[in-house]
Structure 1
Amino acid sequence: LADLRCCPCQRAVRRSDGVGPSRIRERIMLRDMSPTTAYTPFEGLRRPLRFSTHGPATVAVLLALATLLAVLLLSAHEPLGSPLAEVAVSARGIQTVRLTKSRSAKHTLKELHPETAATLLHTKVHGGKEACVSKCMAEAEMESEKKEHTSAHVLPVELKDFMNAQYYGEIALGTPPQAFTVVFDTGSANLWVPSAHCKGFNIACLLHRRYTASQSSTYTEQGHPFAIKYGSGSMSGYTSIDVLTIGGIALPNVTFAEATSEPGIAFAMTKFDGILGMGFSSIAVDGQVPMHVALYNAGLIAEPVFAFYLQKQAHPSLMATPAEKDLGGGMLMLGGVDERYYTGELLYVPVTRKAYWQFDMDAVELGGRRQVSKAAAIADTGTSLISGPREDISRLISLMGIKPSSGSSDMDTGQYSIPCNQVDSLPPLTFIIGGREFTLSGPQYVLDISSFGKDECMIGLMAMDVPPPAGPIWILGDVFLSKYVSVYDFGEDRVGFATAVEDPPTA
């Protein structure tokens, strides 16, 4: 029983009643076992009873016990879940007892593990009677609990998707909370949002929600200059300290940046307000502690792990209806990974450089033929496409039979388009990681965008030369990560991948 009381969930308890002249009758009883609750059935009858051998009292007591036993036997034939009527016995010393039939072992086993029930409950033993072994019931329950364990200990953060190119979720800063949408970016390590003190005619700042320090009772001024540059776009401002709320939990004293300048149009047209970096602290400006590390250090998440499940819309449209815009974009899981979001086994590979989530990639194949061998790669939720060295990407594009159209700037931008009726004929693109093949079909590495009733298809590959020491490097962005769940273990310094389920699990 000490083991059975280890967690507050339903447990199968095997009890000996001592009934029968020559053997023990075993029953399976279900009970809600809390960590401080001991299993003591029929508390008032724990000690042996002494009976007189003479007089009417003996008869009355024996009659009462016989009646009670009859009721217990009848209860086994009552419809599941129907309470028995109150039992009143006229004998002296016996009080009215109300009994309720609990769920039988058979029904419980069918709920916990239907496959095991189908095998066990139809096995005939001991003169043709159905038998259910308590050990097998316990194993079935443990397997069921294992499937639910990770989801119970994971802090989920819902994501939205815009055009299969921007995946973002909601956070809040300050007290009372000021809400913002941010990209949870594994390719950076700082948090910033637009500031109410934007400078001049800053379009990106004016078109998004802005943090107002004077409206927060938990704000602490810091004021250190801050600037960061991304693959596309940049920002500058200063640092502040306040409470961060994510997934319904509050993390105090978080250092973040207020953006007072976001030049150009890179951030002007985004659906998100800011960026929350989830890379390693070595790439953080001023060495700030990344949010996921701070959450774990504060004991607010169970394990030093987070994971992403990104959904891909079939035909995203710039003219989407409000209902279409509200479609889910996936899930960020903090403190673990929910096994319901992937199929098969997770493959883990070690992080080779603790800056980005970088690992070794064995090869890249197109149509089953190897085109790239032994390359460094990173998993980057903040990058929409898959990028690689210009020489490698150009070779892949050429083998696909795609040529830049006359007067186009495909070779300059590193992006390529294709007639939508040719997408299905594209060869499969395979990334070999840790000896396992991760394959994308043509439609899976093409972005199909609809605007004003016209479909446009863009290859989800982009040429980008990253200079040393960070490069050359492949960046596996959302095009890849929408097919495969990605897991980031900062306790063991490893990255994991598994095939994502097509339809997300319901709550």
Structure 2
Amino acid sequence: MAGIRMLLGVTVVLAVALIVNGSIQRVPVYMQEPREVHANPMQVLYNKYNARAQPHGAIPISDFANAQYYGLIKVGEPFQSFRVVFDTGSANLWVPSKECGYSCTLKTRYDHNESRSYVKDGRDFEIRYGSGATKGYLSKDQLFFGELRVKEQTFAEITEEPFQWVLSRFDGILGLAFDSIAVMKVKTPMSHLIETKMLDSGMFSFYLPDVPGSTGELIIGGVDSRLYQGEIAWTPLATRDYWRIPFQGLDAGQGNIFAECSRAIMDSGTSLIVGPSTEVAILAASVGATANPIMPGVYTVDCTKIASMPPVTITFGDKDYTLFPTQYVNVQTILGQTQCMLGFAGMDFNTPEKLLILGDVFLRHYYTVWDMDNGRFGVAKLKGRKHAATIVATM
């Protein structure tokens, strides 16, 4: 679900590495910024985390109004290739169906009649979000990650998409969260790979690019020690649904602003760090950001004052993770004009506890490891990045 930056397309090459029998195989993956501003992107994000109460267990679709990390997968025999977003905030795989109409015109569409390995399922499938619903039905077919094969993966063929996705460069979504939040309780591709012992370990890791033109990496089945330095700092998961961890605080120099947030969700499909409206408003004021008059919960920054803004320290797992203003402010030039947006947004979810989501504004500044086997989330300092974010043990 990538969050709220405005406009136009920059593509960054990202590599996916798969651990197969101890070797690393690389498959191109891309990071995309949007061609246009989606209608009410905050509403999309709101529905992603409120949808547990929706009919059909409909939950996870990301707000992809910003940067999208996506790569190629192959489905069927003969292969049909699709560009899918890797989203740790959802747990379903879906691709457009040949039966999908105008909104899928620019996308690659799956034709089960052309696949010799297709198996009919037929159950209705629906994902709800801000301005409509993505609908279709379940099917089964073989799925390929590079040389890795899931023999019979259940996924959704989408027959109806809202118009707002017509210009998106991705075809579908591949969820990397846990089976427990999957619509229809469908087993995820990662679960299949783990259960069939196709991987050395049930983990994956991200090295996300932070500037256009740089190369990143998604590794399925392990880590790449060449990309990080020092030890991996592990935090046990609070629950095995989303990648939810115990959260200890956020400080911009005036004490813990997020004292009422006890847990945070790590979400590669969200571009921003999203927290309760009141707390984010306090944070915005403390760093000198002002409310965007058009998008509630979004804040702008005077581009000439970024250098004087304070660092922001996020604490979990008894470690302090510090982001500097050049890392938590999104700077972009649109039609010759430079805009600076705060990488934090405010939103109140209809959940029992105040919800904090740590998206790509945080994740791209660290090497992150997602360990399904042991139910833990790992963070390490990046190697070779000029202005790497810091990790310090709390006292």
Match of 2:151 among 232, 252, 255: 252
Match of 2:324 among 432, 441, 464: 441
Q: Does the Cα contact within 8 Å between 1:151 and 1:337 map onto a contact in 2? A: no
Instruction: Give the 3 Å change call, closer, same or farther, for CA 363–153 of structure 1 in structure 2.
Output: farther
- Mapped to 1, the partners of 2:231 and 2:383 lie a distance apart of 12
Corresponding residue of 1:119:
none
Q: Quick check: which one's strand share is greater?
A: 2
What does 1:54-453 correspond to in 2, within 5 Å? Answer: 152-153=22-23, 156-163=26-33, 165-199=67-101, 202-203=102-103, 205-230=104-129, 234-265=133-164, 267-313=165-211, 327=213, 329-367=215-253, 369-373=255-259, 375-404=262-291, 408-410=293-295, 412=296, 414-453=297-336
CA positional deviation for 1:238: 0.4
Matched AA of 2:73:
I
Instruction: Give the 3 Å change call, closer, same or farther, for CA 487–189 of structure 1 in structure 2.
Output: same
Instruction: Give the 3 Å change call, closer, same or farther, for CA 466–167 of structure 1 in structure 2.
Output: same
- Mapped to 1, the partners of 2:245 and 2:129 lie a distance apart of 21
TM-score using structure 2 length:
0.79
Where 1:286 maps in the other structure, the secondary structure is: helix
Q: Does the Cα contact within 8 Å between 1:342 and 1:501 map onto a contact in 2? A: yes
Where 1:358 maps in the other structure, the secondary structure is: strand
Structure 2, unmatched stretches of 5+, are: 1-18, 34-65, 387-395
CA positional deviation for 1:153: 4.9
Q: Which deviations, in whole Å up to 9, do the C-alpha atoms of 1:208-250 show, x marking residues without a partner?
A: 1111111111111111100113578641100111111112322
- Mapped to 1, the partners of 2:324 and 2:100 lie a distance apart of 44
- Mapped to 1, the partners of 2:247 and 2:343 lie a distance apart of 19
CA positional deviation for 1:451: 2.4
Correspondence 1:456 to 2:339: yes
Q: Does the Cα contact within 8 Å between 1:150 and 1:339 map onto a contact in 2? A: no
Instruction: Give the 3 Å change call, closer, same or farther, for CA 476–439 of structure 1 in structure 2.
Output: same
Q: Which deviations, in whole Å up to 9, do the C-alpha atoms of 1:385-437 show, x marking residues without a partner?
A: 110111111110111222236xx224x2x111223222222211111111111
Structure 1, unmatched stretches of 5+, are: 1-148, 317-326
Where 1:294 maps in the other structure, the secondary structure is: helix
Corresponding residue of 1:492:
374
Please, what is the CA RMSD of the aligned residues? 2.3
Q: Does the Cα contact within 8 Å between 1:156 and 1:332 map onto a contact in 2? A: no
Q: Does the Cα contact within 8 Å between 2:250 and 2:258 map onto a contact in 1? A: yes
Where 1:377 maps in the other structure, the secondary structure is: strand
- Mapped to 1, the partners of 2:218 and 2:322 lie a distance apart of 23
Where 1:210 maps in the other structure, the secondary structure is: coil
Instruction: Give the 3 Å change call, closer, same or farther, for CA 431–187 of structure 1 in structure 2.
Output: same
Structure 1 runs, 4 residues or longer, greater than 6 Å off: none
Q: Quick check: which one's helix share is greater?
A: 1
Q: Does the Cα contact within 8 Å between 1:158 and 1:328 map onto a contact in 2? A: no
Q: Does the Cα contact within 8 Å between 2:139 and 2:154 map onto a contact in 1? A: yes
Q: Does the Cα contact within 8 Å between 1:154 and 1:334 map onto a contact in 2? A: no
- Mapped to 2, the partners of 1:431 and 1:231 lie a distance apart of 29
Corresponding residue of 1:61:
none
CA positional deviation for 1:150: 11
User: How many matched pairs?
Assistant: 335
Matched AA of 2:321:
F
Match of 1:481 among 350, 355, 363: 363
Where 1:369 maps in the other structure, the secondary structure is: coil
Instruction: Give the 3 Å change call, closer, same or farther, for CA 150–501 of structure 1 in structure 2.
Output: farther
- Mapped to 1, the partners of 2:21 and 2:206 lie a distance apart of 14
Where 1:391 maps in the other structure, the secondary structure is: helix
Q: Which deviations, in whole Å up to 9, do the C-alpha atoms of 1:333-390 show, x marking residues without a partner?
A: 1111111111221111111111100011111011363222252101101111110111
- Mapped to 2, the partners of 1:345 and 1:158 lie a distance apart of 28
Percentage of identical aligned residues? 39
Q: Which deviations, in whole Å up to 9, do the C-alpha atoms of 1:62-106 show, x marking residues without a partner?
A: xxxxxxxxxxxxxxxxxxxxxxxxxxxxxxxxxxxxxxxxxxxxx
Q: Does the Cα contact within 8 Å between 2:20 and 2:199 map onto a contact in 1? A: no
Which stretch has the larger CA shift, 353-362 or 245-254? Answer: 245-254
Instruction: Give the 3 Å change call, closer, same or farther, for CA 482–432 of structure 1 in structure 2.
Output: same
Corresponding residue of 1:51:
none
Larger Rg: 1
Q: Does the Cα contact within 8 Å between 2:228 and 2:367 map onto a contact in 1? A: yes
Q: Which deviations, in whole Å up to 9, do the C-alpha atoms of 1:458-483 show, x marking residues without a partner?
A: 111111212224x4211111111100
Q: Does the Cα contact within 8 Å between 2:131 and 2:162 map onto a contact in 1? A: no
- Mapped to 2, the partners of 1:150 and 1:212 lie a distance apart of 29
TM-score using structure 1 length:
0.63
Larger relative CO (CA 8 A, sep 6+): 1 or 2? 2
Q: Which deviations, in whole Å up to 9, do the C-alpha atoms of 1:258-311 show, x marking residues without a partner?
A: 11111241x233221110011111100111111111111122111111111111
Matched AA of 1:365:
D
CA positional deviation for 1:251: 1.4
CA positional deviation for 1:169: 1.2
Q: Does the Cα contact within 8 Å between 1:193 and 1:259 map onto a contact in 2? A: yes
